């Protein structure tokens, strides 16, 4: 006999576990199925453990620059095993936190690999091969994604790493090649650079962090080069061979010159592949695009009763997007089940912020200046540098700027782009403004506390309208 539920959530990442909590709040009898670790990639192998590593890198960097603050730090060094152990402990703490949340919300956790046998039917196979059946009115697919390999070289965990290997290094890379300059590639490049490796980043497109505004890419490239990294944009790795002592990469640079280069290790960060295989989607004829499940703005697939959220669906592939979809999706399910008190709203991709926790940090929401112009907007652009902000000077963090892009006719904030210290904490101010559809006047009339980095957000808006105060 199958256990009966209102909802089964397949996968317990930030999409799945948040969906399960919201479902429980709405009174749905809920089960969650997970084959590896509660919390998914985000808590165990993604967002959180990388931030723990990056924090160690940041502290080391600051210790090395102690003199700048009138301090002495002698014998500064690092113990890689302890740095990694701290990161794993942080991940474990959060994984246990999710276990507690499932218990508190009376969500049944089933450890094992799930397979959807039909609408409302799911089989779980545990690690001993034992099978059990669940049934539910609704199933949410939240199975996430995994690292994409190069077509000509598979990650071996020794010399060629994916993010999973890079998170638990057995040894410190001496000369590190990072292929791909999206958020994951750049964060690892930044961490290992701070830890003392010689880092080379190869990006196929003509600039690093290519989803960001052109000015941000240029400023980040300048900063990373100043920190000692080699940045090769418009370049491609055409072949990669792992040997006993390192890797040999055939790299074609932006001018078309091909060279063989040797590195001790390589991190491949060229994107992700959705976990859509072997879970029963083909038989149900669930529609996908490049493997990612197609959904509407309420996370419905083309098959009634099957829903999908997070990395397994369309981009952006971010934890907060997955969680937010989890909430929207469950509220839409509850509404379908007759709950009149929920009012799910459709996801607006334009208002999803993106952050890269490299050094200096990068954060943005909305359109780049180029995209806004291409979309036909007449724009007003403001830019304010960290060097013009008292708190930034006091912190010794004068690198970077905040850029805002407004529609010249309506005053709508089309996009905000930041690079510098703590910008990943600042971006939410603009995100709230965008969500609330504030215009330039609202930002200008808002009082920002002094002294804070957030004052630069005010100044950037003032700059767009010719009213900047401190430059």
Ligand X SMILES: Cc1cc2nc3c(=O)[nH]c(=O)nc-3n(C[C@H](O)[C@H](O)[C@H](O)COP(=O)(O)OP(=O)(O)OC[C@H]3O[C@@H](n4cnc5c(N)ncnc54)[C@H](O)[C@@H]3O)c2cc1C
Annotated binding site: 51, 114, 180-187, 203, 271, 311
Provide the annotated binding site for NAD(+). Answer: 180-187, 203, 271
Provide the annotated binding site for FAD. Answer: 51, 114, 311
Between strands 113-118 and 288-289, the pairing is unpaired
* Shortest reach from residue 349's CB to ligand X, in Å: 14
- Give 364 or 389: the residue with its C-beta nearer to ligand X: 364
The residues binding ligand X (CB under 6 A) are: 10-16, 33-36, 40-42, 46-47, 50, 113-114, 142-145, 163, 184, 275, 279, 310-312, 317-320, 322
* Shortest reach from residue 462's CB to ligand X, in Å: 30
Rg (C-alpha) for the chain, rounded Å, is 24
* Shortest reach from residue 85's CB to ligand X, in Å: 18
Distance CA 291, CA 314 (A): 10
* Shortest reach from residue 335's CB to ligand X, in Å: 22
* Shortest reach from residue 112's CB to ligand X, in Å: 7
CA-based nearest residue to 224, from 249, 199, 206, 204: 199
- Give 10 or 426: the residue with its C-beta nearer to ligand X: 10
Distance CA 429, CA 452 (A): 13
- Give 314 or 468: the residue with its C-beta nearer to ligand X: 314
Side-chain half-sphere of 37: how many Cα atoms within 13 Å?
A: 16
Which candidate in 292, 450, 458, 470 is catalytic?
450
* Shortest reach from residue 38's CB to ligand X, in Å: 8
- Give 312 or 381: the residue with its C-beta nearer to ligand X: 312
- Give 14 or 420: the residue with its C-beta nearer to ligand X: 14
- Give 153 or 279: the residue with its C-beta nearer to ligand X: 279
Per the annotation, the verdict on 450 as an active-site residue is: yes
Catalytic site positions: 450
């Amino acid at each position: 006999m199958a256990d009966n539920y209102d909802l089964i959530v397949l996968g317990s990442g930030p999409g799945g576990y948040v969906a399960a909590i919201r479902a429980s709040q709405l009174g749905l009898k809920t089960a969650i199925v997970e084959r590896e670790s509660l919390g998914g990639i985000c808590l165990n192998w993604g967002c959180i453990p990388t931030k723990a590593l990056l924090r160690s890198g940041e502290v080391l960097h600051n210790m090395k620059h102690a003199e700048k603050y009138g301090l002495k730090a002698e014998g500064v060094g690092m113990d890689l095993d302890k740095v990694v152990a701290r990161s794993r402990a942080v991940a474990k703490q959060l994984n246990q936190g999710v276990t507690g949340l499932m218990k508190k919300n009376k969500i049944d956790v089933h450890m094992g690999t799930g397979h959807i046998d039909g609408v409302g039917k799911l089989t779980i196979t545990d690690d001993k091969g034992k099978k059990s059946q669940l049934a539910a009115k609704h199933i949410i697919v939240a199975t996430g994604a995994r690292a994409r390999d190069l077509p000509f070289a598979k990650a071996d965990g020794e010399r060629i790493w994916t993010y999973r290997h890079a998170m638990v290094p057995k040894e410190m890379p001496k000369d590190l090649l990072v292929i791909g300059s999206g958020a994951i590639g750049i964060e690892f490049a930044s961490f290992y650079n701070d830890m003392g490796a010689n880092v080379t980043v190869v990006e196929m497109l003509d600039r690093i962090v290519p989803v960001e505004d052109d000015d941000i890419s240029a400023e980040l490239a300048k900063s990373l080069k100043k920190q000692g990294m080699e940045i090769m944009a418009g370049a491609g790795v055409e072949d990669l061979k792992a040997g006993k002592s390192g890797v040999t990469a055939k790299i074609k640079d932006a001018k078309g010159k091909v060279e063989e280069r040797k590195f001790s290790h390589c991190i491949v960060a060229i994107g992700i592949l959705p976990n859509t295989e072997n879970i029963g989607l083909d038989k149900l004829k669930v529609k996908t695009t490049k493997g990612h499940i197609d959904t509407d703005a309420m996370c419905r697939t083309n098959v009634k009763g099957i829903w999908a959220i997070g990395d397994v669906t369309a981009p952006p592939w971010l934890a907060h997007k997955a969680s937010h979809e989890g909430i929207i999706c469950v509220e839409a399910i509850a509404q379908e089940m007759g709950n009149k008190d929920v009012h799910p709203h459709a996801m607006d991709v334009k208002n999803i912020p993106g952050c890269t926790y490299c050094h200096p940090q990068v954060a943005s929401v909305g359109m780049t200046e180029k995209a806004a112009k291409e979309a036909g907007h007449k724009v007003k652009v403001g830019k304010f540098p960290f060097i013009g902000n008292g708190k930034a000077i006091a912190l010794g963090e004068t690198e970077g700027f905040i850029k805002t892009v407004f529609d010249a006719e309506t005053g709508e904030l089309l996009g905000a782009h930041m690079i510098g210290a703590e910008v990943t904490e600042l971006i939410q101010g603009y995100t709230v403004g965008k969500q609330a559809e504030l215009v330039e006047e609202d930002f200008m009339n808002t009082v920002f506390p002094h002294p804070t980095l957030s004052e630069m957000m005010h100044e950037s808006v003032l700059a767009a309208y010719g009213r900047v105060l401190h430059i």
